[in-house]
A and B are shown apart, each in its own frame.
Chain A
Amino acid sequence: MKRYIIRRFIFGIVVVWIVSVMIFLATRIGPDPALMIASPGADEAELNSIRDRFGLNEPLPVQYYIFIKKALRADFGESIYYGLPVADIVWQRLPATLMLVGTAKLISLGFGILAGVLAARRRTGWTNNFLRWFSFLGLSMPNFWIAMLLILIFSVKLKLLPTGGYGTFWHLLMPAFSLGWYFSAGYTRLTESSLLQVLNSEYIKLCRVKGLTELSVVGKHGLKNALIPVVTLAGMNVVLMISGAVAVEMVFAWPGLGLLMYHGAIYRDFNVVQAVILFISVFMVFMNLAVDILYAYLDPRIRYD
């Protein structure tokens, strides 16, 4: 196991390095970012001054070397648009994204697992139909569309929840639900199928023969094994959630990394885009490693050599 972790760690560093090269090149393919922030009709002297400020006049390999050297010290340069250190802006926005993704994860897992258990236990009837349709809707509708519908219903018509922004639990509800609904659908289906499989196994029959309550059979003995694939999926989905948060953060003006990346893209603020994508890729690598380790812990049959 130790060797496996070390191997995965080294592999993760290689992946992050490849991502850094790709994002560096991708952000420099586009038009000159100096044009985006210069005054209209700016002369070449002014454009050059902007380019000098951000090191854009250096050859690409030199720019990359400077970028990587600084990145290793968590210094991602200055935001071309905001005029502040990128690291400061990212750290400022990170808690909001973690809060949103964390809450969305709780909602999606909580609802998804509960719904999956219900669906597995009641194979027919209105409960099962409702859960199927609810999952289907969550998978079909884009999250920004869900976000707008929620605003229309709960903010504008019913005036129950704040429209956008950040600050209280009530600000968090709609964005987290918009983000989490899609993922809960996946957890519902996976929990249902996985639990059905587990409930057919011999050890479950033995539990029932021994006279254990149904709650104990399903909740204690069945779910523990049924949730293994769900845990794996949940771990991988964290990264998808962070990238999926862009549209949700934009609709709700939720001040997280997604909104920051959106602004970075439209203002050609490549320092910001690089930093956010690098952060997500590092997070993804370590999240995947953590999921694998957790997987081995949950299922003793799994061993990494």
Chain B
Amino acid sequence: MEIERIWRSRKIMFLTLLVILQFGSFAVSAAPPEGILKQAIHWSFSSDWLDPATGSFPIPAYHPLYLFHDALLKPMPEGLYTPSLAESWTTSPDARVYEFKIRKGVKFHNGDFLTAEDVVFSFLRYKGSLAKTIHGKLEKVEAVGPYSVRVRFKEPFPEFLEFLLPGATTFGWIVPKKYVEKVGDAGFKKHPVGAGPYKFVEIVPGVKLVGEAFDDYWRKVPHIKRMEFYNIPEPATRLAMVKRGEADIATLLQGVFYEDLKKTPSLRMLAPLSPVRWIAYPAAQWDPKSPWADPRVRLAASLAIDRQTLADVHMPGCGPVSSIGLEGDPMAVDFPPYPYDPEKAKKLLAEAGYPKGFSAGKFYPYQGGYWPYGEQIATYWKAVGITVETVLLDKPALLAMREGGKMKGGIFIDNPTSPTIGGRLSTLFSGGSYGNYPDIQTLWEQYRKETSPKGRKDLITRIQKLIYERTMWIPLTSTNSPAAIGPRVKGNPYRIQPLIWFTAPFEDVELVH
């Protein structure tokens, strides 16, 4: 009897355990993805963007990368350098050796498991932006185990991790070695396979891009089964599609479309910040005879601008900025914004010897859709006596002139888009530089060689302070990309602002049930 009682109680315990385990597994496994999300977007997809190893990557190109692929580290809601395919990494004190510990159990869409070999292959295969720079510095890349990769550079390379961020290179985005070797580069571009939250379904370049949820994505199972992105160049059509319910999200609605959107109660307006920080750069300051060489003149030009109104009119939801660094960048310094003080501006001009103002040369606002922004700045300057000759150029002509050094003697609106303050200063101080102050240049060169994080932080902080004190350039406003959000979309799908202004992470986007 006693034995029977014991067996019965053990059976009950065993059965109870089974039930708990079963219930537990139900609780742990996510609901399967469901639904379709359609977006009407303003940019056009290139097949080049499907392969991280090729092509150059403006920020929209990271859209298919975040969709189909994954990287060792990437900006996420948690931070700029969020570990992804790499669980962690170490840097040697001389910044020559980086070791990445690869996450175990990560699958590619074709079922292959990610190993260190795929990482080494992807690194060596890379031929995109700044490939020559990186490969020139590279001494060796090797797998030091199935889940560990060591990268050794010929010389200290303290900015290497910055180079892995969007806007710099796609060096750290990993593809499956066996699959690429089997299908070749052209085959991979036709049907890419990655480790991202969505599997590639279809691309019609310039028309649409479709992805389907990857149930084995390491981070989480996406909520939405299928994502469809349609390139709709005309903003009126994008807005109409969302109003009619043909699309759930319509991107980049500015001006009258933004006003119309505000009057549409069935739609929400979200305006994800973008990584662009407008500055007015007086290239003429490097000419000692130019009025712009006087820091009082540059400060006056800065004080003459009503940045909040500028933002309210052209970038609703944005505001003044005082530096080109982005929120979340640990190396960027925030300064007090320049106030709007036209009276002080006039006084400064008088002190500098221009009581009646001066003719300030050519002014190049940024491309096409942003001309009114630039023209408003010209109007503010005219009000204090700084008269500019505004030259309106479209983007290719503007870039050609800017990169060709043909804006000497003028002022242009610039927007360094590198992901970090270091990258942005590099754009302004290196290659396309119009000039620099000797002390700032010295500090910059020290910064480039400095390997200790504290030392780098100290140097770059000093550089930013000097730039601010001398008004070396005139920070303007942040920028955003107003979008219409339909009633099916839950919450805010833009979670990696300001660096990523599309709906990422895609696996986090949800539909209202």
Contact = CB atoms under 8 A, between A and B. Distances in A.
Interface string B190-210: 000000000000001111000
Contact of B240 (A42, A43, A163, A166): A163
Contacts of A81: 44, 46
Interface string B159-181: 00000000111000000000000
A31 B167 contact: no
Contact of A83 (B47, B167, B400, B417): B47
B130 A39 contact: yes
A92 interface: yes
A115 B59 CA distance: 52
Interface in B33-66: 40, 44, 46-48, 54-58
B133 A45 contact: yes
A100 interface: no
Nearest to B242: A163
Interface in A222-268: 250-253, 255, 259-260, 262-263, 267-268
A35 interface: yes
Contact of B56 (A38, A92, A163): A38
Contacts of B236: 148, 151, 251
Contact of B205 (A38, A39, A79, A262): A79
Given A30-B396, A33-B396, A267-B44, A255 B240 contact: no
B418 interface: yes
B351 interface: no
A156 interface: yes
Candidate in A50, A89, A165, A166 with the most chain B CB atoms within 10 angstroms? A165
Interface residues of B, number: 50
B46 A82 contact: yes
A156 B48 CA distance: 35
B399 A42 contact: no
A30 B394 CA distance: 11
Interface in A197-224: none
Interface string A143-156: 00000100110011
Nearest to B55: A83
Contact of A253 (B234, B244, B397, B403): B234
A303 interface: no
A261 B241 CA distance: 23
Contacts of B427: 40-41
Nearest to A148: B236
Contact of B230 (A45, A253, A267): A253
Contacts of B441: none
Contacts of B244: 155-156, 159, 162-163
Given A148-B236, A251-B234, A263 B44 contact: yes
A40 B417 CA distance: 7
Nearest to B247: A163
B132 A36 contact: no
B432 interface: yes
Interface in B438-470: none
B426 interface: yes
Band of interface residues on A: 35 or more
A32 to B, nearest CB: 6
B246 interface: yes
B130 to A, nearest CB: 6
Contact of B241 (A44, A164, A263, A267): A164
Contact of A35 (B403, B416, B417): B403
A92 B203 CA distance: 12
A94 to B, nearest CB: 13
B237 interface: yes
A32 B427 CA distance: 19
Given A40-B58, A151-B240, A152-B240, A83 B230 contact: no
Contacts of B432: 41
A294 interface: no
A287 interface: no
B232 interface: yes
Contacts of A45: 132-133
Contacts of B131: 46, 49
Given A40-B417, A41-B431, A255-B204, A50 B240 contact: no
B431 A44 contact: yes
Q: Which of A32, A164, A268 has the most CB of B within 10 A?
A: A164
Contacts of A89: 205-206
Interface in A74-89: 79, 81-84, 89
B234 A156 contact: no
B162 to A, nearest CB: 13
Interface string A11-30: 00000000000000000001
B328 interface: no
Nearest to A152: B240
A163 B237 contact: yes
B309 interface: no
Nearest to B45: A82
A165 B168 CA distance: 34
B387 interface: no
Given A45-B133, A162-B246, A163-B246, A82 B206 contact: yes
A166 B204 CA distance: 12
Interface in A157-188: 159, 162-166
A114 interface: no
Contact of A46 (B44, B56, B234, B246): B56
A179 to B, nearest CB: 15
A278 interface: no
B254 interface: no
The residue among B54, B56, B204 with the most chain A CB atoms within 10 A of its own CB is B56
A37 B55 contact: yes
Interface string A43-78: 111100110000000000000000000000000000
A41 B231 CA distance: 26
B233 interface: yes
B206 A260 contact: yes
A42 B432 CA distance: 9
A163 B431 contact: no
A253 B234 CA distance: 8
A86 B295 CA distance: 52
Interface string B377-406: 000000000000000000111011001000
A79 B133 CA distance: 26
A251 B237 contact: yes
Contacts of B56: 37-39, 42, 46, 50
B431 A43 contact: yes
B101 interface: no
Contacts of B241: 163-164
3 A-B pairs closest in CB distance: A83-B48, A31-B400, A41-B427
11 contacts: A30-B396, A36-B399, A38-B56, A40-B427, A41-B432, A46-B131, A81-B46, A151-B237, A163-B246, A253-B231, A263-B206
Given A46-B131, A259-B233, A263-B206, 20 more contacts: A30-B396, A30-B397, A31-B396, A35-B403, A39-B58, A39-B169, A41-B432, A46-B56, A50-B56, A82-B206, A83-B47, A83-B48, A83-B189, A148-B234, A164-B237, A164-B240, A164-B246, A253-B231, A255-B206, A259-B206
